A and B are shown apart, each in its own frame.
Chain A
């Protein structure tokens, strides 16, 4: 077997491995968008040990250590949300963007939907539910309280000053201890996703009291979304100015135990791809931040402030915030400044190249408001980025166009020095000089472009605005894969092909444009590489098929720009009519551009 044949087999095997591996990988980490399962049907109680609805809010799971925050969830969530919501008195939450209620049993934020975000692209579909009460499957809630002797229990029944919380009308919740210490939580909400909770202790007893304010976000189960190398889902926080995400994954908390940090200020909570519930302590307050798991798939992130001594007749107060909503960059940035919270913007998992991705996100956002169509905005954004990179790319294409003119000579050199790659390369360099061909544009431009394209990709991956946004024709949701596949004659045949081969029209265009673009590159001299080149566009067609249509659109436009740019260069430096062997380089036939 010759070396080439062996290489070929290796290449084919590797391609197959990448293709299959990718499918496995993408299904594991980028599951196709499933409709959010809303647990509205009652789940049968699995056993007699399941706590009944009346004991749900008990601290019960792990015996609360004195001074520590009780674990607020329950082991086995059961029950129908409607029934659970009806089981305790509530204060209605009604804002332009949020609807739900606060549970007076515990003063708990455990019922919240985002009215402007829908579960599916159908505008009449139910709004996306963020918070859900315990003990419902996927319970997710926030709560504030105090630790210490004589404080309200975690399931204390609070008295509300009114029945409705709106941006214009805050609500005060009150609980008075038998000893006469009055605890108050003044809750205000803005027009977006921020609750402000002013926690007050008025000591009406004869003795001083010691209290430690706390706040928590608790969640049952990990939800359908999974964390991946490019997207963090789960417990999250900024402690000491540093983003904590991968070190506090669900699995790590379950296997490695709780993580605690002694710090000042910061924020912490639990996030999904688009949504976040987080508690924000007073930024001057010294806290113990904790990320923990409890039996029964429960997770809790909480902070505990320092003890405050309240003398008889005195009032002590602290103010914390609760963010519950979509991770809209404008909002996060705004709160970051107005509340002076460090790095609230890192709730969006920007990754390493956030410093490039954030401006790109803002530009995309602006283009969206400017054009009114998210698909058009993506096209404009791609064109702008390509325009910025034009000089570098042009240099690359120019040298490639020229290179193909001397390709036959290069081939001759390679054949002459088959055994000696080094000598071949040395002769090639001599050829560049004699033929006055510019060497290639180099590796640095490519290396520099990687972060930019990665940032663009992240932007499209994370953008809450792209959710359910239509482009044109059959693309009605840019954040979902292209739904039209020729395999079932574009839906005419009532048959859903297996996900792996059900590629849509966009991925096919992507493959074709990539193939066209590669045809404009100089033909690789290495036969193996030639084969790999031939397979690649079609492999990418499969690899990209399960991705969001918006991402595919960006890639297609990018390919088209490359094709146009290369086509121009190929016309500028056409192949000479005479066979290259016969050419003697005359000044003027090839413009020398190397020395600058």
Chain B
């Protein structure tokens, strides 16, 4: 993984370990948006990974999709 990718994964991991734990579950997908973001960054690098993660969050709303949605 590129350095930029690593730097981006860090706050997401931090979120998973802290904020995510105190908030009620909310994600409609599996894997969850944060896990998806980490996966996308690892697989596709910083730029594309970030874009995929943002698109995933964009889909994760009451009128969006749900269910199993792995990193392409």
Contacts and interface: CB of A to CB of B under 8 A. Distances in A.
A439 B68 contact: no
Contacts of B58: 444
Nearest to A529: B21
Contacts of A428: 30
10 tightest A-B CB contacts, nearest first: A425-B30, A439-B66, A442-B60, A439-B28, A444-B61, A443-B60, A429-B67, A521-B24, A442-B61, A443-B33
Contact of A447 (B28, B57, B63): B57
Which of A403, A425, A444 has the most CB atoms of chain B within a 10 A radius of its CB? A444
B62 interface: yes
A429 B26 contact: no
9 contacts: A392-B62, A429-B66, A429-B68, A432-B67, A443-B27, A444-B58, A444-B61, A445-B62, A533-B22
A4 to B, nearest CB: 14
B57 A440 contact: no
Given A14-B18, A521-B24, A533-B22, A444 B30 contact: no
Interface in B50-72: 57-64, 66-68
Nearest to A394: B62
A521 B31 CA distance: 21
Interface of A: 11, 14, 18, 392, 395-396, 400, 403, 422, 425-426, 428-429, 432, 438-447, 521-522, 524, 528-529, 532-533, 536, 596
Given A425-B30, A442-B61, A444-B64, A532 B25 contact: no
Contacts of B57: 443-444, 447
B8 to A, nearest CB: 16
Interface string B5-45: 00000000000011001111111101111000000000000
Binding site of B, secondary structure by majority: helix, strand, loop or mixed?
Answer: loop
Nearest to A447: B57
B62 A441 contact: yes
A533 B18 CA distance: 11
Contacts, number: 77
B66 A425 contact: no
Contacts of B68: 425-426, 429
A422 B22 contact: no
A12 to B, nearest CB: 12
A395 B61 CA distance: 10
Contacts of A441: 26, 28, 61-62
**Residue with the highest number of chain A CB atoms closer than 10 Å, among B17, B18, B28:** B28
Given A429-B30, A429-B67, A446 B23 contact: yes
A411 to B, nearest CB: 14
Contact of B25 (A18, A422, A438, A522): A522
B25 A596 contact: no
A447 B68 CA distance: 21
Contacts of B23: 446
B30 A395 contact: no
Nearest to B22: A536
Given A14-B18, A18-B18, A524-B25, A395 B66 contact: no
B63 to A, nearest CB: 6
A314 B31 CA distance: 78
Q: Which of B24, B28, B32 has the most CB of A within 10 A?
A: B24
Nearest to B28: A439
A445 B61 contact: yes
Contacts of B26: 396, 440-443, 445-446
A444 B27 CA distance: 9
A201 B26 CA distance: 68
Contact of B27 (A395, A438, A440): A440
A440 B30 contact: no
A325 to B, nearest CB: 39
A178 B7 CA distance: 65
Nearest to B33: A443
Given A14-B18, A396-B26, A443-B61, 4 more contacts: A426-B30, A446-B26, A521-B24, A536-B22
Given A443-B60, A445-B61, A422 B17 contact: no
A11 B31 CA distance: 22
Contacts of B33: 443
Contact of A440 (B18, B21, B28, B31): B28
Nearest to A532: B21
Contacts of A426: 30, 68
A444 B24 contact: no
B62 A395 contact: yes
> Which residue among B28, B32, B62, B64 has the maximum number of chain A CB atoms within 10 Å of its CB?
B62
Nearest to B36: A443
A442 B27 contact: yes
A14 B18 CA distance: 9
A396 B30 CA distance: 18
A545 B26 CA distance: 28
Contact of A422 (B30, B59, B61, B66): B30
B24 A442 contact: no
B31 A425 contact: yes
Contacts of A528: 21
A536 B24 CA distance: 12
Contacts of B28: 439-443
A110 B61 CA distance: 57
B31 to A, nearest CB: 7
A291 to B, nearest CB: 30
Contacts of B31: 422, 425
A95 B57 CA distance: 55
Contacts of B60: 442-444
Question: Interface centre among A443, A446, A528, by most B CB within 10 Å?
Answer: A443
Nearest to A524: B25
Contacts of B22: 532-533, 536
A108 B31 CA distance: 65
Contacts of A11: 21
